[in-house]
Amino acid sequence: MTERPVLSVRDLEVEFPTRRGVLKAIDRISFDIARGEVLGVVGESGAGKSLTGAAIIGLLEPPGRIAGGEIRLDGERIDNLPREAMRHIRGRRIGMIFQDPLTSLNPLYRVSEQLVETIRTHTDLDARRARERALALLTEVGIPAPEQRLDAYPHQFSGGMRQRVVIALALAAEPELIIADEPTTALDVSVQAQIIALLKKVCRQHHAAVMLITHDMGVIAETADRVAVMYAGRIAEIGPVRDVVARPRHPYAKGLMGAIPTLATDAPRLMQIPGAMPRLNAIPAGCAFNPRCAAVFDRCRRERPEPVAIGASEVACFLADAGGGR
Amino acid sequence: MLAFILRRVAEAAIVLVVVALLAFLLFRFVGDPINQMVGQDVSIAEREALRAQLGLNDPLIVQLGRFLWNALQLDFGISYRFRQPVMELIGGRFPATFELAMMASVFALAVGIPLGVYTGIHRESLLSRFFLGVSLIGISLPTFLIGILLIYLFAVKLQWLPSYGRGATVDLGFWKTGLLTAAGLKALILPAITLGLFQLTLIARLVRSEMLEVLRTDFIKFARARGLTDRAIHFGHALKNTLVPVITIIGLQIGSIIAFAVVTETVFQWPGMGLLFISAVQNADIPIMAAYLLLVAAIFVTINLVVDLLYVIVDPRIRVAGGAKA
Amino acid sequence: MTPFAADREPGLIARALDSDVWHSFTRSPVVVVAAILTALLTLSAVFAPWIAPHDPTDLAKLDLLDSRTPPLWLEGGDKRFLLGTDNQGRDMLSAILYGLQISIGVSVLAVMLAMTIGVTAGLVAGYFGGWIESAIMRVADVQLTFPAILTALLINGAARAMLGNKSVDGAEFWVLVVSIGLSFWVQYARTVRGSTLVEKNKDYVQAARLIGIRPLAIMFRHVLPNVLGPVLVIATINLALAIITEATLSFLGVGLPPSHPSLGTLVRIGNDFLLSGEWWIALFPGFVLALLALAVNMLGDWLRDALNPKLR
Ligand SMILES: Nc1ncnc2c1ncn2[C@@H]1O[C@H](COP(=O)(O)OP(=O)(O)OP(=O)(O)O)[C@@H](O)[C@H]1O
Ligand SMILES: [Mg+2]
């Protein structure tokens, strides 16, 4: 390690106490995000991607809680900070972008008001300066005629434009890390690529690292530096995007990558993984993926595989060395 | 926008016309006006003369026209019982009812909204649970019982406050007010609480459930993720978004405050329009009933219009609905 | 086999006995208490003539010397009168039991009237559409602008004017039923009209129409059962409102007369003696009234949530 990572997550556990016992939604995950790096996070619905993001930014909804592990931002622990201290980190040092730009903005406030409010919460700028800054941000995220649009209401923008505003808001106080939770899922296909490109561009300009949660493998392949594959609250495989996408080692990652339609083959190689991800109250012992795994063997049912380093990747599979058992 | 307002005004006018029609039918056909006006000893010939003089033999449509024309000039004829112009009677009592209704509304809003906000934010707190439990009882208690209990407690047992009447009033020429003397203000306390308590519970419950709803929305989550203060989130973003439904209900509630003023005025022998109306119902004094009906309808319709205009002020989305989209 | 039986959703009874509803009932103790309370109060009302120690309607048996006796446990109490007497020497306990009977009677009948008018209006409006629908819904809209209590007062006043000075015995009772009933029909009409609009386009109704079943028969046999669920919920919630409205009208002196007092009338009588310290005349009936309204209200709340969580 040459440089201290922006974000460092170690053995993070998130759980929900319920009447029928405690559900463990995130089970001992560890990963780093380097300064300026884009980490893609993929995995089936319910794998725990959004929860990981919420845990990092300190917005788990009760009764959800961090049950173990630690989260460090720039080396400083942030998972046990008092409320008020954590609030100063949100927006200022970690920004967040949600899925649906249509509902992320308060419909009753002008875009300028929401930008200025955010800027002034985290900086000492006076109202006039904050407004100038807001205008600069809108220009930067590519809103046409920003002087005229600054005082418009959210409903006067299209979906794509609104997501640009959301990106401007997330960047308003120059955070070191942006967590983008499926930032394009709710958008029209035609603007998805633009938004991703914009996100990547502005984050690079502001030297912000990105944790990009998405279902879109194409986006990952194009945008991410590294990628983490999550399954049932655990990280199955994490590594440089080239390795994980081209040569996945974990059987689940293989299945997932197989699901990307490629131009190389005629028919989309929609490789199906039989079965479905287990519910939180029925995660099997050993490897969580074992009931669906083609290469399953005894040990997988008894013992949980810990991530092992293979090249620049880490893979949580007993057969990782052997290339995932095939 | 203008079209929206015009449509609302037209709808309001239709309601008023229908009510005026009802009032006319009530006035003309319920009971015989002549019998009500004269004693037993008046001869048939004299009755017929009076009938002709009052125009009761004219074609119905002429009578309706005359009724409407007079109503527009606030002339509702002579009370059967008091033998005085109805408008004089009502006008003399209007200030008492107005001051009572105002105080009750202010009380209901000033306590109900903060209570709703508090219980919405701290929904697990002891106070919130206590309030929810008590509020169901409050909603089930008839207004007159609340009044009687308050009288028994504060007027009979503790002897702190008067049990009936307006106390001392000051005559401003056109308006008799109880707000300028200590006795007048003291006399206002119990009736205002009685009248406002039900609305208070309703408003608090409504604000609470709206707050709960709004606090779950994406834009609140995004506001938190931007690191805004709790104050800004709760009172700026959340409360403002509860306003549209709250304004609707408050508009309706002012209507029912006027309706229940009838009850409160009876309990406290408050010399307002409600007391006059009740004695009119008891004595089948139709002119007063018809006038009261029209007057109350006019007040309701006006309130509804004001509510519609308030929407436009609060919610920018309605503002452009009829106009040009930017 | 009728061609449309299969299309019908489970009827009211089937749904009421549905285990979910039953479960949510047994699981919330407050609701069980409310139900028991409602049952107890209703039973005491029905059997008032047998339970009540005295007959409060028999004016001949009253003795003014007994008037304003405090409850048994206070100084000056009389063991004949557990809860004391009113200004005419009437036993409060008996008066309350009879009053409860009248209050419940008026409210139940008023709700049934409102339901009949509202459901019929809603069915007709929804099924026939056109100007009939416009007319009915316009009236409903205008009436909805006014709080029910005002409507009831106006109808009450109009009825008084029509009856004139000839006091028909027992007329007050029916005047109350009608004025409350007429002020509560709108909600049923709106709900039923909405459901009817939905039902009317379903296959089974179309099929019934094709094989020549008359519209009225279709509406009552096939559309009605499907809208009964929400109607029942509204009725329960309305019952509490009707109880309160009846009491309020009687309290205002335009309901039942002191010779046949309802709970509201009793409170009205007692109100005059509150200042002189004879609190029991007003507060005992008031307490029973509050208990009744609260219990029915809670049942209504629960029923609404249990039958249709979305209605919240
Ligand atoms: N409040 C809660 N109570 C109980 N379980 C919860 C709660 N919130 C989330 N979970 C569970 O946590 C798991 C992870 O949820 P999460 O939202 O992180 O999934 P995700 O990977 O983001 O999925 P998606 O792709 O659909 O967004 C899911 O199984 C979900 O059911
Ligand atoms: Mg998610």
Each residue's pLDDT tens digit, A140-160:
999 999 999 999 999 999 888
Q: CB-CB: which of A92, A100, A108 is closest to B227? A: A92
Distance from CA of B119 to the nearest CA of A (A): 17
Lowest mean pLDDT among A128-142, B22-36, C71-85: C71-85
> A45 CB less than 6 Å from ligand 1?
yes
Q: A281: buried, middle or exposed (CB in 10 Å: 19+, 13-18, 0-12)?
A: exposed
Instruction: State the distance from the centre of ligand 2 to the C-alpha of A99, rounded, in angstroms.
Output: 8
> A123 CB less than 6 Å from ligand 1?
no
Residues of B in contact with A107 (CB under 8 A): 219, 241, 315-317
What is the per-residue pLDDT for B192? 92
Q: CB-CB: which of C153, C279, C297 is closest to B136? A: C297
Identify the H or E element spanning C123.
helix C92-128
Q: Can you tell me which atom of ligand 1 is nearest the CA of A14?
A: 12
Q: How confident is the model at residue C26 (pLDDT cuts 50, 70, 90)?
A: low
Nearest residue to C247 via CA among C234, C236, C261: C261
- pLDDT of C16 over the 60 cut: no
Instruction: State the distance from the centre of ligand 1 to the C-alpha of A48, rounded, in angstroms.
Output: 6
Instruction: State the distance from the centre of ligand 2 to the C-alpha of A45, rounded, in angstroms.
Output: 7
- Give tens-digit pLDDT for A74-106: 999 999 899 899 999 999 999 999 988 888 999
Which is more confidently placed, A2 or A59? A59
Q: Cα C161 to chain center, whole Å?
A: 25
Give mean pLDDT, residues A1-23: 86
Ligand found nearest the CA of A47: 1
Specify which of A37-41, C69-73, C79-83, C164-168 reaches the highest per-range mean pLDDT: A37-41
Give mean pLDDT, residues A4-9: 92
User: CB-based contacts of A248: which residues, under 8 Å, 6+ apart?
Assistant: A229, A237, A254, A256, A257, A324
- 3-state DSSP assignment of residue A69: strand
Ligand found nearest the CA of A55: 1
Q: What region, left, alpha or beta, does residue B77 occupy, with left being phi > 0 and alpha being psi -120 to 50 degrees?
A: left
What distance in Å separates the CA atoms of residue B185 and residue B181, rounded to the nearest whole number?
A: 6
How many CB atoms lie under 10 A from the CB of residue B130? 11
- Give tens-digit pLDDT for C136-162: 888 887 787 778 888 888 888 888 777
Whole-number Cα distances in Å, B48 to A325, B24, B64, C226: 111, 21, 20, 57
> A25 CB less than 6 Å from ligand 1?
yes
What distance in Å separates the CA atoms of residue C227 and residue C224, rounded to the nearest whole number?
A: 5
User: CB-based contacts of B99: which residues, under 8 Å, 6+ apart?
Assistant: B177, B178, B179, B188
What is the per-residue pLDDT for A117? 93
Query: Could you tell me if residue B19 is inside a domain?
Result: no
> A75-93 burial, b if ≥16 CB within 10 A, otherwise e?
eeebbebeeeebbebbbbb
Nearest residue to C121 via CA among C137, C144, C138: C137
What distance in Å separates the CA atoms of residue A300 and residue A324, rounded to the nearest whole number?
A: 13
What is the per-residue pLDDT for B176? 80
Given an 8 Å threshold on Cβ–Cβ distance, is B226 in contact with A59? no
Domain count, chain A: 1
> A190 CB less than 6 Å from ligand 1?
no
Regarding beta strands A209-213 and A177-181, do their DSSP bridges make them parallel or antiparallel, or are they unpaired?
Answer: parallel
Ligand found nearest the CA of A42: 1
Regarding beta strands A234-240 and A76-77, do their DSSP bridges make them parallel or antiparallel, or are they unpaired?
Answer: unpaired
| Cross-strand pairs, A237 | A229, A315
Strand order in the sheet with A38-42: A94-97, A177-181, A209-213, A38-42, A226-231, A234-240, A313-315, A308-310
Distance from CA of B256 to the nearest CA of C (A): 6
Chains C and A physically touch (3 or more Cβ atom pairs below 8 Å): no
Which chains have 3+ CB pairs within 8 A of A?
Answer: B
Residues of A in contact with B214 (CB under 8 A): none
What is the per-residue pLDDT for B319? 62
Q: B interface mutation test: which of C252, C278, C284, C297 has the most B CBs within 10 A?
A: C252
Ligand found nearest the CA of A283: 1
Quick check: C197 contacting B, CB < 8 Å?
Answer: no
Domain count, chain B: 1
Give mean pLDDT, residues A272-290: 83
Lowest mean pLDDT among A312-316, B268-272, C66-70: C66-70
Instruction: State the distance from the centre of ligand 2 to the C-alpha of A43, rounded, in angstroms.
Output: 10
Whole-number Cα distances in Å, B195 to A74, C155, C243: 59, 23, 19
What distance in Å separates the CA atoms of residue A193 and residue A216, rounded to the nearest whole number?
A: 11
Given an 8 Å threshold on Cβ–Cβ distance, is A87 in contact with B229? yes
Residues of B in contact with C156 (CB under 8 A): 281
| Domain that residue A129 falls in | 7-231
What is the per-residue pLDDT for B47? 78
Beta strands in A193-307 (DSSP E): 209-213, 226-231, 234-240
Nearest residue to C117 via CA among C201, C195, C177, C202: C177
Chains B and C physically touch (3 or more Cβ atom pairs below 8 Å): yes
Q: What region, left, alpha or beta, does residue B97 occupy, with left being phi > 0 and alpha being psi -120 to 50 degrees?
A: alpha
Q: CB-CB: which of B218, B240, B314 is closest to A100? A: B218
Q: State the DSSP string of B94-122.
A: HHHHHHHHHHHHHHHHHHHHHHHHHHHHS
Of chain A, the end-to-end C-alpha distance in Å amounts to: 32
Instruction: State the distance from the centre of ligand 1 to the C-alpha of A232, rounded, in angstroms.
Output: 10
What is the per-residue pLDDT for B322? 40
How many CB atoms lie under 10 A from the CB of residue B172? 10
Give mean pLDDT, residues A23-51: 92
Given an 8 Å threshold on Cβ–Cβ distance, is B152 in contact with C283? yes
Q: How confident is the model at residue A121 (pLDDT cuts 50, 70, 90)?
A: very high
- pLDDT of C9 over the 50 cut: no
What is the per-residue pLDDT for C7? 41
Lowest mean pLDDT among A243-252, B112-121, C99-108, C211-220: C211-220
The predicted model scores a pTM of 0.79
Neighbours of ion ligand 2 (CB under 5 A): A 50
User: CB-based contacts of A69: which residues, under 8 Å, 6+ apart?
Assistant: A9, A10, A11, A12, A13, A28, A29, A30, A79
What is the per-residue pLDDT for C25? 61
Give mean pLDDT, residues C10-21: 52
- pLDDT of A233 over the 80 cut: yes
Given an 8 Å threshold on Cβ–Cβ distance, is B141 in contact with C293? yes
* Mean pLDDT over each residue of chain A, to the nearest integer: 87
Q: Which of residues 250-269 of C touch B (CB under 8 A)?
A: 251-254, 264, 267
Q: Which domains are present in chain C?
A: 36-42+92-311 (1.10.3720.10)
* Cβ contact A230:A51 at 8 Å: no
Its sign, for the CA torsion A155, A156, A162, A165, is negative
How many CB atoms lie under 10 A from the CB of residue B37? 16
- 3-state DSSP assignment of residue B299: helix
> A16 CB less than 6 Å from ligand 1?
yes
Q: How confident is the model at residue C169 (pLDDT cuts 50, 70, 90)?
A: low
Given an 8 Å threshold on Cβ–Cβ distance, is B30 in contact with C161? yes
| Domain that residue B317 falls in | 91-146+195-321
> A280 CB less than 6 Å from ligand 1?
yes
Residues of C in contact with B256 (CB under 8 A): 147, 149
Given an 8 Å threshold on Cβ–Cβ distance, is C254 in contact with B256? no
What distance in Å separates the CA atoms of residue C263 and residue A28, rounded to the nearest whole number?
A: 66
Residue with tokens 């005002």: C150
The predicted complex's ipTM stands at 0.87
Query: Could you tell me if residue B96 is inside a domain?
Result: yes
What is the per-residue pLDDT for C22? 59
What is the per-residue pLDDT for C77? 67
What is the per-residue pLDDT for A234? 92
Identify the H or E element spanning A208.
none
Give mean pLDDT, residues A240-245: 90
What distance in Å separates the CA atoms of residue C97 and residue C106, rounded to the nearest whole number?
A: 14
Ligand found nearest the CA of A41: 1
What distance in Å separates the CA atoms of residue C130 and residue C119, rounded to the nearest whole number?
A: 18
Given an 8 Å threshold on Cβ–Cβ distance, is B221 in contact with A98? yes
Copy the structure tokens of residue A256.
């997932």
Which is more confidently placed, A183 or C57? A183
* Cβ contact B316:A108 at 8 Å: yes
| CATH code: domain of residue A46 | 3.40.50.300
Which chains have 3+ CB pairs within 8 A of C?
Answer: B
Give mean pLDDT, residues A250-258: 84
Residues of B in contact with C186 (CB under 8 A): none
What is the per-residue pLDDT for C3? 39
Q: What region, left, alpha or beta, does residue B24 occupy, with left being phi > 0 and alpha being psi -120 to 50 degrees?
A: alpha
* Cβ contact C191:B323 at 8 Å: no
| Total length of chain A | 326
Given an 8 Å threshold on Cβ–Cβ distance, is B232 in contact with A117? yes
| CATH code: domain of residue B111 | 1.10.3720.10
Distance from CA of C161 to the nearest CA of B (A): 5
Which is more confidently placed, C6 or C185? C185
* Cβ contact B99:B191 at 8 Å: no
What is the per-residue pLDDT for A32? 94
Identify the H or E element spanning B215.
helix B182-215
Query: Could you tell me if residue B44 is inside a domain?
Result: no
Q: B314: buried, middle or exposed (CB in 10 Å: 19+, 13-18, 0-12)?
A: middle
Q: Which residues of chain B have pLDDT under 70?
A: 1, 31, 33, 36-40, 318-326
To test the ligand 1 pocket, which listed residue (A22, A49, A220) has its Cβ within 8 A of the most ligand atoms? Answer: A49
ω before C49 within 30° of 0 (cis)?
A: no
Q: How confident is the model at residue A212 (pLDDT cuts 50, 70, 90)?
A: very high
